Amino acid sequence: MANTDFHLEFQEFEDDQGFIKSNQSSTTVTIDDPIKSRKQRKATGTAPEEEEIDPLDSNDQTELLSGEKRSAPFWTFEFYQTLFDVDSHQVKNRIVGSILPWPGKNFVEVYLRSNPDLYGPFWICATLVFAIAISGNISSFVVNHGQPKYKYVPDFRKVTMAATAIYSYAWLVPLALWGFLTWRNTKITSLVSYSFMQIVCVYGYSLSIYIPAVILWIIPSEGLRWFSIVVALCLSGSVLVMTFWPAIRDDKPRITIAIIATIVILHVLLAVGCKACFFSRPTYEMDPSEDHNEPLRTTSTLSST
Amino acid sequence: MAEVDESSKPLFAGLSDISISEDIPVEGDISVPVGSQNADNDLSTLDEPVKDTILRDLRAIGQKFVHVMYPKKSSALLRDWDLWGPLILCVTLALMLQSGSADSEEDGRPQFAEVFVIIWFGSVIITLNSKLLGGTISFFQSLCVLGYCILPLTVAMIVCRIVLLGGSGVIGFAVRLIVVTASFSWSTFASTAFLADSQPANRKALVVYPVFLFYFVIGWMILTFSPSH
C-alpha cells in the first residue's frame, strides 16, 4: 500500500524561454512559427493583416491586438524591437527578391507581408555609404597612380557626403511618397495601401543592387560604369515600379504616370549623382584636396559628352 | 493513526523517534556578523596607497588584453567589464591616425575627433543593433567587448607606422596589407567569440555583419594612412 515512489518534490515546469527555444530551433513546420503560420494562412486565402493571438509567442507585446502588429507605443524599446524581428534567411531572401524582379511577385506582398524591418534598410545604406567612399578612393588612386605630381590622400569627407546623400534618399523619398499616397487614398479608394515602414523597407532593400555596382566602378572604364549603372537601374527600378503599381493603378492616368516617372527619375539621379561626385574620370587630373571643384568639372565633361 | 504512520513512514521515518523533553536545556549563542566588518573592508581599500589601486586596475586591463589576444571562451571580459581599455585603445588609435592641424595638403586625413566619434558611435550602434535583434548582452558589456577587440588593429597601426618609416613602396604596401588584413580578421573573430553566445541562433549572421563592417572600416583607415613628409 505504501507508495515508495511518492516524492513530495515540486515538479519544476520548464520555464517559457526553454520551451519556446526548443520550438524555434526545430526545422519542422510548427504552428508556433509565426512566419510559417502566416504563410499557411496566406495560402488558405485569409487576409494577412489579421494576426491571431498566438499563445506561444514569446513576445506577447506584438500580437495582442488582432489587426495591429505594433501595439507598443513608439517611445518604448519594444516598439523598435518589433521592427527588427527578422532572421538571417529572411534578410537574405528579401535582398535576393529586391535584386531579381519577378513579374508576378510584389515585393511587399511576397517578402514583407506585415513584417517590415529596419535592419535591412539601415545596414544596406551603411554598407553602400562605405562602399562608395572606399571605391571612390580606390578608383582615384588607380586612375592617378602613374602621375608624378599626385600624392594619394584618403579623402575622408567623402564618407560624410555619401552618408548624407544616401540616408536622405532612403528616408525622405519614402516619406514624401507615403504622404502623397495617403493623400491620394482619401480621394480614391485603392485596394492596396502601404504603411510608411513598408515603403522605407522597399526603398532600403532596392538600394542593395548598388553595392556590387559601386564596387565595379573601381575599374576605370567608362563603358563598364555606364553599363553597370543601367543594369542596376533596370533591376531595382522595376522592383520599385512593380511594388507601387497596385497602389496607384486606380488613380487617374496622369497621376499614375507622374508618380512612376518621379520614382524612376529620383532613382536615376541618385545613381548618376553618386557616380559623378565620387568617381573621377580617367581623362583629367584630379586634385584630391580640391574636392569642391569636382562637381563643376564633372558637369562640364558631362555636358560635353 | 496506524495507517497514517505506515504511509508516512518512508518519509518521516525517524521523526516519530525524536522526542524533545522539556528538561533538556537548549543553549548556544547566535551571532550575526554586523556591518562592522564591511566597513573595515571599505576603509581598507580607501586607505591603500594610490599605486596599489592603479596597479590593480592596470592588471585587470592587462588581463583583458591577454584574453583578447588569445580568444577562448572565457567570460572574464563580459563579467567584469570596464571601459578603460577601450578608451586607451581608442585614444591611441585616434592619435596615430589624425592629421596635422593646419595642413592644407592633408585635408583628407581624418581628424582626431572623427576617428574617436567613429569608434564610439559605431560601437554604440552595433550594441543597439544586437540588443534590438534580441540579444541578452548588456549595453556596457557589448561596448567593452567591441572596444577591447580593437587591440589587434592598434597593434597593426603601430606595425604600419614602423613599416612606413622605411619608405612607402610596393613591398611596404604588401606587408601593410597582410598585417592589416590579419589583424582585422583577428578582431572580428575575437569579438564574435565573445558576443556570439548571447544572440539567438537564427540571427547570428545579422549580428556579426555589422561588427565585420566596423572593423573593416577601421582597418581601411589604417591601411590608407599615409605619413606626412
Span A225-279, pLDDT tens digits:
888 888 888 888 888 888 888 777 777 788 888 888 888 888 888 888 888 877 7
Average pLDDT over residues B37-42: 53
B109 contact residues in A (CB cutoff 8 A): 153-154, 156
User: Which three cell numbers, joined as nine digits, stand for A48?
Assistant: 494577412
Q: Calculate the CA B39 to chain-centre distance.
A: 30
Closest in B110, B132, B213 to A84, CB measured: B132
Looking at A207-216, A244-253, B124-133, B169-178, which range is the least confident one?
A: A244-253
Q: Say yes or no to pLDDT of B50 above 70.
A: yes
Of residues A4, A87, A153, nearest to B108 (C-beta): A153
pLDDT in tens, B59-108: 888 888 887 777 666 666 677 788 888 899 989 888 888 765 445 555 55
Specify the higher pLDDT residue, A15 or B89.
B89
In angstroms, the separation between the Cα of residue A2 and the nearest Cα of chain B is 5
A182: number of Cβ within 10 Å: 13
For position B40, what pLDDT does the model report?
Answer: 52
**A154–B213: do the CB atoms touch at under 8 Å?**
no
Smallest Cβ–Cβ distance between A88 and the set B105, B106, B203 belongs to B203
Nearest Cβ partner of B220 from A4, A127, A134? A134
Average pLDDT, chain B: 78
**H helix and E strand count, chain A:** 12, 0
Per-residue pLDDT band at B180 (split at 50, 70, 90): very high
Q: Cα-flanking dihedrals φ and ψ of residue B101, to 5°?
A: -75, -50
Average pLDDT over residues B31-60: 72
Q: Is B108 close to A289, i.e. CB distance below 8 A?
A: yes
The minimal CB distance from A156 to the residues B105, B114, B213 is found for B114
pLDDT, average across residues A66-87: 71
Q: How far apart are CA A47 and CA A39, in angstroms?
A: 11
From A164-168, A254-258, B16-20, the region with the lowest mean pLDDT? B16-20
Please determine, for residue A291, whether its predicted confidence score (pLDDT) is greater than 60.
Answer: no
Spatial contact of A210 and A263, defined as CB atoms under 8 Å apart:
no
A4 CB near a chain B CB, below 8 Å? yes
Side-chain-side CA neighbours of B198 within 13 Å: the count stands at: 23
* 150-209 in chain A: CB under 8 A from chain B: 151-157
Task: List residues of B whose CB lies inside 8 A of any A CB.
Answer: 6-7, 9-11, 104-110, 114, 129, 132-134, 200-206, 209-210, 213, 216-217, 220-221, 224-226
Contact across the interface for B204 and A156, Cβ inside 8 Å? no
Q: Could you report the per-residue pLDDT of A84-115, keeping only the tens digit for each?
A: 878 888 888 888 888 887 777 776 777 767 77
Which grid cell is A184? 491620394
pLDDT tens digits along A189-214 = 766 778 888 888 888 888 888 888 88
* Residue of chain A with shortest Cα separation from B4: A2
The whole-angstrom distance between B74's CA and the closest CA on chain A is 24
Selecting from B6, B114, B203 the residue whose C-beta is nearest the C-beta of A87 gives B203
Work out the percent of chain A whose per-residue pLDDT is above 90.
2
Nearest CA to B206 out of A90, A212, A203 is that of: A90
Task: Decide: pTM greater than 0.90.
Answer: no
- Give A201's contacts (C-beta < 8 A, 6+ positions apart): A94, A108, A112, A116, A117, A118, A120, A121
Mean pLDDT for B130-153 is 86
Give the pLDDT confidence score for residue B215 in this predicted structure.
92
A238 burial type by CB count under 10 A (0-12 exposed, 13-18 middle, 19+ buried):
middle
The yes-or-no verdict on residue B46 having pLDDT over 80 is no
CB pairs under 8 A between A and B: 80
Q: At what angle do helices B139-148 and B50-69 cross, to 10 degrees?
A: 70
Q: ipTM strictly over 0.85?
A: no
Residue B35 pLDDT exceeds 60: no
Q: Measured between CB atoms, does A8 come within 8 Å of chain B? A: yes
Instruction: Give me the pLDDT at residue A67, please.
Output: 41
Nearest CA in chain B to A119: B129
Q: What is the pLDDT of residue A219?
A: 82
pLDDT at position B124 over 60: yes
Looking at per-residue pLDDT, the higher value among A228 and A67 belongs to A228
Give the pLDDT band (50/70/90) at residue A56.
very low
